[in-house]
Amino acid sequence: MALDVPPGVVTGENLLKLLDHAKTNGYAIPAVNVSSTSTANAVLEAAKKANAPVMIQVSQGGGAFLCGKGIEDPKGELPASAAGSVALALHVRAVAAYYGVPVVMHSDHCAKKLLPWFDKMLEADEAYYKKFGEPLFSSHMLDLSEEPDDENIEICAKYFAKMAKIDLFLEMEIGITGGEEDGVNNEDVDPEKLYTTPEQVWAVYEALSKIGPGFSIAAAFGNVHGVYKPGNVVLSPEKLGKHQAYAASKLGLAAGSKPIYLVMHGGSGSTDEEIALAVTNGVCKMNIDTDTQWAYWDGLRAYELKHRPSLCRAELPLMNRGAAAAATRIVRED
């Protein structure tokens, strides 16, 4: 099955084509968290070298970092988080097509307390749609898994109805991914909540499918955010197959059908076999964050160590703080 999707940022029907291609051909698209244009470019370069589609995603904290530590980002408003996230999306929009592969521009976990960030990105999407006929981002994630299921689904349906009008894809989470990410700490959560049931997944599918086809579900199957060695996290990817089978039976589809776009979070520490089984069961997006953060930092560390003599000169400040101070002095002198 050929991938009939153009290079650059994809949205709407082209995004659905891409996800269907992944599900049909048994692969998951890597979704890599970035917090700068340089990390985004690194992901795009890797995708080009692999000649494969990729997803670039930004978290609320990543957006705030990209906007700059000197900008206040008060809780309940989060203007810097939104501005940085929008800036990243505009950058990816400007350069993605040059890398020759389909690119999905996505925003990561948005808990209820972070909805002001989500709302501001959605405003940017609507403005972009009015001008160009498609949203700025390809998709956004709502993570209301800390809320009761009914409230989670109700809020997701409300937002999805608005998003579907401008061809925006929605990712939602039901069941809880363990560990800690972006200030949401689930390290001490009830272990039973780390495993979503087929009935929970079906409740989401039943509500959202009435609005449109452009949504995916991050169903928990024991996955945990953070750094873990393979074998130290107890995953049950076979549960994902049960979600598909339950939904297929409800829809009257043939055995083996996979009607749901599933997402895998907390992949660090997963074995190759566990990932393969998750993909076989319909996972078409796999989040990558901790591993690539480490690789990026370790690359910088190795480069600095190798080139330290030439870098450690007073006139070449290495840190943003030093660069900002130097710029301030120059402005004052002028």
Catalytic amino acids? Answer: 108
In this structure, the chain runs to a length of: 334
- 3-state SS class at 300: helix
**Residue type at 92 in one-letter notation:** V
Pairing of strands 184-186, 179-181: antiparallel
Work out the angle at residue 136's Cα, subtended by the Cα atoms of residues 134 and 142, and round it to the nearest 5 degrees: 105
Q: Which residues contact 77 (CB under 8 A, 6 or more apart)?
A: 116
Q: Which of 323, 312, 326, 314 is nearest to 68 (CA)?
A: 323
Write phi, then psi, for 226 (nearest 5 degrees). Answer: 125, -170
Q: Which residues contact 220 (CB under 8 A, 6 or more apart)?
A: 145, 173, 174, 175, 176, 177, 193, 194, 195, 196, 265
Q: How far is CA 290 from CA 17, 34, 173, 237, 296, in A?
A: 29, 11, 19, 20, 10
Q: Report the alpha-carbon distance of residue 218 to residue 137 in Å, rounded.
A: 19
Q: How far is CA 163 from CA 81, 121, 132, 160, 201, in A?
A: 20, 11, 16, 5, 21
**Strands (DSSP E) along the chain, which ranges?**
8-9, 29-33, 54-58, 102-107, 139-142, 169-174, 179-181, 184-186, 215-219, 262-264, 283-288
